[in-house]
């Protein structure tokens, strides 16, 4: 009889791993299907509610590891060894397993409300600490799976990505509690669903409110077929590439584009040829009355910068140095420390480069400066054109600005400050892919801009609370007359 029961539990555990890992795989992939992640932890939580602690931990760990294996191809493309993927996902799986055990312990002792908060508080605390401690920033957040779910995305304007990840895990926790406790936990389930409904109503209203400020016509250009696999070296090849880009920019300016954005690191310039490097774009800016933002490598021996140079009509070129580098590819560059705002514009525009927008700063500094449009030269890896190319969209929702992002091996993307994609095309759609569109450029004030990562700190407080609750229910259990332990 015992062996038959163990067999059934083993089959139940295996099914939980298979179901959860598939939901994690396709719900948190490079091209995620957003509804799946709302249910991904549920099979694990249902299993954990009626199983031993060690089997619950194993099922939770294996579910997240198997679900994350779809990202191995991305790590491999970046040249990372298998151990790099293994370490990243092992840590995440251990955190998830610990969260499930905390949920299970509180659930089985009748602490429904504390159990509801357990997994969201553990995971969001982990996401926030990882954001502070690693070079990836917010890039691994579960919130980015929901970029296509626009009403829910508006929550980022209040909480940043942290509140989105929290509710993503609150929902399956509530369902699992309802499954385990039935009517006893009805209020927990109803309250959780009501919170999510309120958030979605807020999102729908925010999407319906017209955006302030005038529209600005922007043009984006990128080429994946320039003959240079990486950045064009200093000298003739860079000058030729600059002229080619300038020719495409002239066409967009003739169609009314007032701001033109080119990709990251299209060529290399040194101090000795600074004037010749600037000539093609500065003369074009003066001629067309358009502002041009071009990414390049600036060599000022012995220092190198990943730089976005800004060419404004009648104004000497300005520059922005990338703040957050992608190791090991960009470890040689000196990080920048200051933001760059475009001069002489009715609406404030800021400049950032690619990975900078994986982090909540410098975007929040631009938002506090009143930026209504962010201009972002970028360079993706083709396979991550959707995932990494769209992370920057959330920064606009958080900090109240639109986005014009031009990426090699990615997308040319223009989005508004609600996260709606205004226009988009692939960088490999033509030898020189171009996009021209109008985008609202007015700044929008947000709660997140005012309070910053307040919800991440709230999650840390809630984590301490759930741990204290666990201690309390354990102590009360131990003090019961019929429990000598």
Q: Is residue 483 part of a domain?
A: no
Verify that 275 and 320 share a domain, yes or no: yes
Closest CA to 142 of 167, 115, 118, 159: 167
Verify that 266 and 338 share a domain, yes or no: yes
21, HSE (Cβ side, Cα atoms, 13 Å): 22
Verify that 24 and 143 share a domain, yes or no: yes
Verify that 227 and 185 share a domain, yes or no: no
- The values of phi and psi at residue 386, to 5°, are -80, -55
130, HSE (Cβ side, Cα atoms, 13 Å): 19
Verify that 241 and 363 share a domain, yes or no: yes
According to the model, what pLDDT value does residue 7 have? Answer: 67
Verify that 181 and 69 share a domain, yes or no: yes
Alpha helices (runs of H) in 28-111, residue ranges in sequence order: 42-49, 53-68, 72-77, 82-108
According to the model, what pLDDT value does residue 99 have? Answer: 98
Verify that 120 and 243 share a domain, yes or no: no
Verify that 224 and 161 share a domain, yes or no: no
Question: pLDDT, tens digit, for every residue of 105-161?
Answer: 999 999 999 999 999 999 999 999 999 999 999 999 999 999 999 999 999 999 999
The residues that bridge with 442 in the sheet, in sequence order, are none
Q: Is residue 448 part of a domain?
A: no
Question: pLDDT, tens digit, for every residue of 328-338?
Answer: 889 999 999 99
Verify that 298 and 439 share a domain, yes or no: yes
d(CA 126, CA 9): 30
∠ CA 433-310-411, nearest 5°, is: 25
Verify that 463 and 430 share a domain, yes or no: no
Residue 457: count other Cβ atoms within 10 Å of its Cβ.
Answer: 14
Number of domains in the chain: 2
The residues that bridge with 377 in the sheet, in sequence order, are 406
* Under-70 pLDDT residues of the chain: 1-7, 226-230, 273-277, 344-346, 477-485
- The parent domain of residue 173 ranges over 2-209+453-478
- The values of phi and psi at residue 330, to 5°, are -115, 20
∠ CA 382-385-391, nearest 5°, is: 145
Q: Is residue 470 part of a domain?
A: yes
Dihedral of the alpha carbons of 252, 253, 254, 255, in degrees to the nearest 10:
60
Verify that 119 and 255 share a domain, yes or no: no
CB 339 within 8 A of CB 366: yes
Query: What one-character DSSP code corresponds to residue 333?
Result: B
Query: What one-character DSSP code corresponds to residue 342?
Result: -
According to the model, what pLDDT value does residue 485 have? Answer: 33
According to the model, what pLDDT value does residue 51 have? Answer: 92
d(CA 139, CA 127): 9
d(CA 26, CA 29): 5
Q: Which CATH number is 413's domain given?
A: 3.60.110.10
Q: Which residues of 277-308 are buried (b: 16+ CB within 10 A; e: fewer)?
A: bbebbbebbeebebbbbbbbbbbeeeebbbbb
Residue by residue, DSSP assigns 205-259 as HHHHSPPPS-EEEEEEEE-S-SS-SSPPPTTHHHHHHHHHHHHHHHHHHHTT-SE
Contacts of 316 (CB under 8 A, 6+ apart): none
Q: Is residue 485 part of a domain?
A: no
């Amino acid at each position: 009889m015992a062996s038959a029961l163990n067999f059934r539990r083993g089959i139940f555990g295996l099914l939980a791993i298979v179901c959860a890992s598939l939901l994690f795989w396709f719900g948190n992939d490079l091209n995620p299907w957003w509804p799946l992640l709302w249910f991904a932890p549920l099979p694990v939580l249902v299993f954990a509610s009626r199983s031993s602690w060690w089997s619950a931990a194993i099922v939770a760990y294996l579910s997240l590891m198997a679900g994350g294996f779809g990202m191995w191809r991305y790590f491999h493309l970046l040249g990372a060894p298998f151990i790099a993927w293994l370490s990243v996902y092992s840590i995440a799986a251990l955190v998830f397993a610990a969260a499930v055990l905390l949920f299970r312990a509180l659930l089985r002792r009748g602490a429904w409300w504390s159990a509801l908060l357990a997994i969201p508080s553990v995971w969001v605390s982990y996401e926030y600490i990882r954001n502070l401690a690693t070079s990836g920033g917010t890039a691994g957040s579960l919130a980015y799976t929901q970029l296509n779910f626009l009403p829910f995305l508006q929550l980022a304007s209040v909480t940043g990505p942290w509140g989105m990840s929290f509710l993503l895990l609150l929902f399956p926790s509530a369902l699992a509690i309802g499954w385990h406790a039935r009517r006893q936990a009805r209020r927990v389930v109803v309250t959780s669903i009501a919170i999510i409904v309120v958030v979605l109503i807020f999102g729908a209203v925010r999407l319906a409110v017209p955006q302030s400020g005038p529209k600005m016509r922007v043009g984006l250009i990128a080429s994946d077929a320039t003959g240079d696999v990486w950045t064009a070296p200093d000298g003739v090849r860079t000058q030729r590439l600059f002229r080619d880009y300038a020719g495409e920019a002239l066409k967009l300016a003739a169609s009314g584009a007032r701001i033109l954005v080119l990709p990251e690191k299209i060529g290399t310039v040194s101090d000795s040829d600074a004037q010749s490097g600037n000539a093609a774009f500065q003369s074009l800016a003066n001629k067309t009355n358009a502002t041009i933002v071009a990414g390049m490598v600036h060599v000022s021996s012995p220092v190198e910068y990943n730089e976005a140079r800004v060419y404004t009509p009648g104004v000497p070129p300005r520059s922005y140095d990338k703040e957050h580098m992608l190791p090991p590819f960009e470890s040689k560059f000196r990080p920048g420390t200051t933001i760059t705002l475009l001069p002489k514009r009715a609406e404030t525009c800021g400049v950032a480069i690619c990975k900078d927008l994986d982090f909540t700063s410098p975007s929040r500094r631009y938002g506090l400066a009143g930026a209504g449009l962010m201009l972002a030269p970028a360079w993706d890896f083709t396979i991550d054109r959707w995932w990494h190319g769209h992370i920057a969209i959330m920064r606009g929702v958080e900090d109240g600005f639109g986005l014009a992002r031009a990426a090699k091996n990615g997308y040319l993307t223009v989005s508004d400050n609600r996260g709606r994609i205004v226009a988009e095309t692939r960088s490999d759609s033509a030898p020189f892919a171009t996009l021209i569109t109008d985008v609202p450029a007015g700044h929008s004030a947000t709660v997140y801009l005012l309070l910053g990562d307040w919800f991440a700190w709230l999650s840390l407080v809630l984590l301490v609370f759930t741990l204290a609750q666990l201690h309390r229910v354990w102590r009360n259990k131990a003090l019961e007359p019929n429990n000598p332990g």
